[in-house]
Structure 1
């Protein structure tokens, strides 16, 4: 249902800061109950896609974040492997910290959001849907950052992932394959550690995931860019 609400937002051309339909209106448009919509809104709120203001209604979240200004500075171009190492070194630090905090702070709706994103990645792998994989992978990592209850982590995780996507202009990312099956298992390990409240295991699982992802990206860069 959360995905259907996002589709409705996109289809209506709503922008960050725009007011959304009420829960009752969403339920009517999507042919479901207000209870189902409310749970979906909790998930979208947990991953920073929707803001619920008491007495004022629902609004599309402004995802620009504290690093929004850096988005206008131009492309991140990994002209040598050192650039990629630095990006992933940064991601390793921030996402390990986010996972550690999420293990002690995640609420039930936030855990549900992390699990739903992991399930989306499984569906994407089963169908070979690259776009769905990218969406699920983004939501997985951002849901963990949101569950850390630190807006600076959310902004920096989002920005680092944006840089990874941007770098695909020279072939950093490819189709599903390579590390994807390992990534699914690593997502599960991260989620289970967060769900059971094991902060150090969550941080370690996140670090392993980023290390393995870096190795996969490094091989792909060497193959596509450096010959």
Structure 2
């Protein structure tokens, strides 16, 4: 289901389309493929940094940076004096396919966004139907906050407001399974954001904030059909922005140090 990664150079460099990506990102991607290919489970111990470097054919330094990144997004656990271990994926430790989610594989990312659309359009529909006045207020406040910080271009503040908004909509659906699914999808999406965009949003914060406000208005008005349609458009916009950002990464030289 996942594409086979291109061969890496000792410093983590790769040919062609991946030539502008930092070496540690490519090694992190290759390491996740290695974990999937070996069918390693949460809690399984990996080889040492040197051992992984030899397996992947790269230097130990770039391997160390890749391990740090994967530990930061919750895919690996590093225990001093004990070694490197596979960490449990969020809420899906017993599901092999989800535990081996590849955050830099476009096929996986698009499937995640497709699933997100299914889940979040339903939470929007239910919220428009059964949300309490307090829940509607929480959704509106989060939407307005996201719109405000989106115009200002404050990515960190927007990330916080975005989390509040989608969590509030999910809570207003009054279904713990839907709420858990939304939280899980967002955790997986965050892994892709970190590895591909270094935590930055793949598209316009201002546009996303406006969409949040429109969704909140539909939910507040009790218009379930419009709330569903607007949420579907919101996720679809994210998908297109994500694809565009990927193309930009492939064909625009990286100016980072």
TM-score by length of 2: 0.57
Query: After superposition, what is the alpha-carbon deviation per residue over 1:106-130, rounded to whole angstroms, capped at 9, x for unaligned?
Result: 1011011111111221232243321
CA RMSD across the alignment: 2.5
| Matching of residue 144 in structure 1 with residue 169 in structure 2 | yes
Aligned to 1:35: none
**Superposed displacement of residue 69, structure 1:** 4.3
Contact 2:140 / 2:217 at 8 angstroms: preserved in 1?
A: no
Q: Aligned equivalents of 1:91 and 1:166: distance in 2?
A: 15
Contact 2:124 / 2:169 at 8 angstroms: preserved in 1?
A: yes
Matches within 5 A, 1:1-227: 68-70=91-93, 76-172=101-197, 175=200, 178-224=203-249
**Superposed displacement of residue 89, structure 1:** 0.4
Q: Which runs of 4+ in 1 moved over 4 A?
A: 71-75
Query: After superposition, what is the alpha-carbon deviation per residue over 1:55-95, rounded to whole angstroms, capped at 9, x for unaligned?
Result: xxxxxxxxxxxx62449976743343211110000000000
Q: Aligned equivalents of 2:235 and 2:135: distance in 1?
A: 21
Contact 2:121 / 2:231 at 8 angstroms: preserved in 1?
A: yes
TM-score by length of 1: 0.64
Q: Aligned equivalents of 2:251 and 2:109: distance in 1?
A: 13
Contact 1:142 / 1:157 at 8 angstroms: preserved in 2?
A: yes
Highest Rg: 1 or 2? Answer: 2
**Matched residue count:** 161
- Structure 1's 131 and 83: CA in aligned 2 closer, same or farther, altered over 3 A? same
